[in-house]
Amino acid sequence: MSVQPKRKALLTGATGFIGGHLTRELLRTGWELHLIVLPEMGLGTIEDLHAEVQSYPHDGTTEQLLDLVDQIKPDVVFHLASLFLAQHTPADIEQLIKSNVLFATQLAEAMTRSGCWRLVNTGTSWEHFENGAYNPVNLYAASKQAFEVMLEYYLATTSLKAITLKLFDTYGPNDPRPKLFTLLQKVAAEGDPLGMSPGAQLIDLVYIDDIVRAFVIAAERLLGNEVTGHERYAVSSGNPLSLRDLVELYGRVVGKNLPIHWGGRPYRPREVMVPWNSGDPLPGWQPLIGLEEGIGRMEQVGKG
C-alpha cells in the first residue's frame, strides 16, 4: 500500500492571530508547512512549533521570494500577511503599500514563475462600505483591493487560480490584537469605566475555529480543481449584533455588569454602521459556533 505524500502549504502571516491558528490546524491534519516570516519577528506566538515547520525570513526582495517559492513548490499558498490600520497617518503609507500591495504582488509573481497555481488570499469586508461593489472604508481596505487588481493580471495570463476570503471581525482565545473583547476583558477585570461610541453600529463576528475552517475548505476547493479564475467569498456570521447588544451579551456570559459610558466618544470617520451583506457564501461552509458559545470558549481558555 503506497503512502500518500503530505500536502505542502506555504503560509504568509503565520505569526498573526488567524495565521497561528491556521498553522496549528494544518499541522494537526498532516500538512507539510513552510512559513515566510519577517526577520525581526521570527515565529513569535508559534515559536513552540519551530521543530514542525520550515520558516524563511524574507529580506524584502522579489529575487529571494522567487527562489524560496521555486525551492518549496507548495501545493497551496495561504496569504494572510498584511498591515492592518483602522486609520492611517502619512507616515504609515509606505509600509501599508509595502505590506499589502508590494509583498503580495511579489508573491504572485513568484508563484506563477514557479508553476504554483493555487492561492487562498485574505480580503476584507471593509472593501464594501455601505454595501458598495467597491467603496473602501479606509486606506487599509483600499490596499487590499489594490492587490486584488494586481492579481487579475496573473489570473488572466497564467494558470493561477485564487480564492479571496473576505473576513469580517474575528475573535477567539488568546487574541493579542487590541480588539473589542480585549477592552471588555480589561473592563471586566478592573472595573474602570470605558467610554464608547453611542453603540448603534452592527458588528459581524466570526469565531476563530470557523475562520480556520473556511481557509481549509477554500484550499480543498482549489485542490479539487473546482475553481475557475478568481472566486471571492464573504466569511460572515450572517447575524450581526449592535455594539450595545454585544457588550450586554458579553457581560451576561462573564456574569458582570460592565461600566460602559455610551456616547463617551464619537463614531470613527466612515464608521461601518451596517456590515456588507451582499457577498457570496463559501460553498460547503457555514459558521458552527454562535456568539454566546464563542465568548464562553474564549473566557474559559483565558481562565485556564
Continuous H helices in 3-102: 17-28, 62-72, 93-97
Picking from 263, 276, 258, the residue whose alpha carbon sits closest to that of residue 131 is 276
Q: What is the pLDDT of residue 37?
A: 94
Average pLDDT, the chain: 95
Q: Are residues 257 and 165 in the same domain?
A: no
Tens of pLDDT, residue by residue over 219-228, are 999 999 999 9
pLDDT at 4 over 70: no
Work out the burial of residue 294: count CB atoms within 10 Å of its CB; fewer than 13 is exposed, 13-18 middle, 19 or more buried: buried
Q: Do 228 and 242 fall within a single domain?
A: no
Does 190 reside within a domain?
yes
Range 225-252 burial, b when 16+ CB lie within 10 A, else e:
eebeebbbbbbbbeebbebbebbbebbe
pLDDT at 304 over 90: no
Residue 44 maps to a domain: yes
Q: Return the pLDDT at 3.
A: 52
Query: Within 13 Å and on the Cβ side, how many CA atoms surround 259?
Result: 9
In a domain, 12, yes or no: yes
Residue 1 C-alpha cell reads as 500500500
Whether residue 215 sits in one domain with residue 102: yes
pTM beyond 0.85: yes
pLDDT > 70: percent of the chain: 98
Q: Are residues 263 and 249 in the same domain?
A: yes
Predicted confidence (pLDDT) per residue in 159-191, tens digit: 999 999 999 999 999 899 889 999 999 999 999
Let me know whether 214 and 260 are in one domain: no
15 and 126 share a domain? yes
Residue in the structure block whose three cell numbers are 504609515: 92
Examine the domain organization and report whether 104 and 188 are in the same domain.
no
Q: Report the pLDDT averaged over residues 78-89.
A: 96
Question: How many folded domains does the chain comprise?
Answer: 2
Distance (Å, rounded) from C-alpha 295 to C-alpha 258?
Answer: 15
Task: Give a yes or no: residue 2 inside a domain.
Answer: no
59 within domain boundaries: yes
Q: Are residues 109 and 136 both part of a single domain?
A: yes
Q: Give per-residue pLDDT as tens, 198-213.
A: 999 999 999 999 999 9
pLDDT for the residue numbered 44? 86
For position 1, what pLDDT does the model report? 47
> In the prediction, which pLDDT does 202 show?
98
When pLDDT is averaged across residues 52-71 and rounded to a whole number, the result is 96
Task: Give the pLDDT confidence of 112-148 residue by residue, as tens digits.
Answer: 999 999 999 999 999 999 999 999 999 999 999 999 9
Q: Does a structural domain hold residue 105?
A: yes
Q: What is the CATH number of the domain that holds 192?
A: 3.90.25.10
Question: In terms of residue numbers, what domain contains 193?
Answer: 180-204+238-274+288-303
Examine the domain organization and report whether 132 and 262 are in the same domain: no
